[in-house]
Amino acid sequence: MATLRLGDKAPDFTADTTQGRLNFYDYLGDGWGILFSHPSDFTPVCTTELGTAAKFKDEFDKRNTKMMALSVDDVESHHNWIKDINETQNTTINFPIIGDEDRTVSNLYDMIHPNEDSTFTVRSVFIIAPDKSIKLILTYPASTGRNFYELLRVLDSLQLTAYHKVATPANWKNGEKVVVSPSIPTEEAKELFKEGGVEEVKPYLRFTADPFAATQV
């Protein structure tokens, strides 16, 4: 199939997981979702990643976001590996891991890159909005573990900009100033962002307070 792109509808699927047989859309419900793959069970980087993901679950819950992981190992292997993850990472795995032996989901989401490895999945990340559109695609090589703080940061940006006419600048963190959308004239922006104010650096570069933070003051 063609490579998935931002804005595409996330393919639905039903698969066996460590929490039973699940339909992806049903599992996400009307919330946000993160689907991420790891190359293989019982490997060092993946062990740290899944342990970290479990520790971050409360933060994702606050953002109405569910996680689901995947590798091409079977569910029984996942269950055995989870014991190691829980022990070595001092946590409890609290999200489903897909057993994708036949590569059905991996191929659906183009997670196997033959020039990298013809058998195992790369470290793919998909953030999916409530309307099931794909809002973020990240691809890491097998040798590089993901930064879950960055995934939270991006999720905060996506959720903010989904509901307000703003964008987030480089290195932005939740609560910091944001950029007014270029499509909004300055006078309109001043009316729209009364609480946060509008700082015009250039006609195309205008800052305002984080709308979420401004409404909570």
The domain segmentation of the chain, as residue ranges, is 14-146, 164-216
- Using CA atoms, how far residue 54 sits from 61, 161, 187, 210, in Å, is 11, 26, 45, 28
For residues 18 and 20, give the distance between their C-alpha atoms in angstroms, rounded to a whole number. 6
Question: Which of the residues 15, 28, 46, 112 is marked catalytic?
Answer: 46
> In terms of CATH, what superfamily is 14-146?
Glutaredoxin (3.40.30.10)
Token pair 């509901």 is found at 163
Instruction: Find the helix or strand (DSSP H, E) in which 87 lies.
Output: helix 75-89
Identify the bridge partners of residue 134 per DSSP, sorted by sequence position.
128
Q: Which amino acid is at 143?
A: S
Which pair of structure tokens corresponds to residue 161? 């900009």
Q: Is 46 a catalytic residue?
A: yes
Which pair of structure tokens corresponds to residue 217? 């003051």
For residues 194 and 81, give the distance between their C-alpha atoms in angstroms, rounded to a whole number. 53
End-to-end CA distance of the chain: 48
For residues 198 and 207, give the distance between their C-alpha atoms in angstroms, rounded to a whole number. 6
Query: What pLDDT does residue 116 have?
Result: 57
Strand, coil or helix: 192: helix
- CATH number for the region 164-216 comes to 3.30.1020.10
Which pair of structure tokens corresponds to residue 74? 């079977």
- Phi, psi (5° rounding) for residue 152? -65, -45
Query: What pLDDT does residue 195 have?
Result: 86
32-37 and 65-71: which strand pairing?
parallel
Q: Going residue by residue through the chain, which has 217 residues, state the pLDDT in tens, using 9 for 90 and above.
A: 458 999 999 999 999 999 999 999 999 999 999 999 988 899 999 999 999 999 999 999 999 999 999 988 999 999 999 999 999 999 999 999 999 988 899 889 988 764 555 456 668 899 999 999 999 999 888 888 999 999 999 999 999 999 999 999 999 999 999 999 999 999 999 999 988 899 999 999 999 999 877 554 3
Task: Report the candidate in 169, 148, 168 with the shortest Cα–Cα distance to residue 212.
Answer: 168
**pTM across the whole model:** 0.90
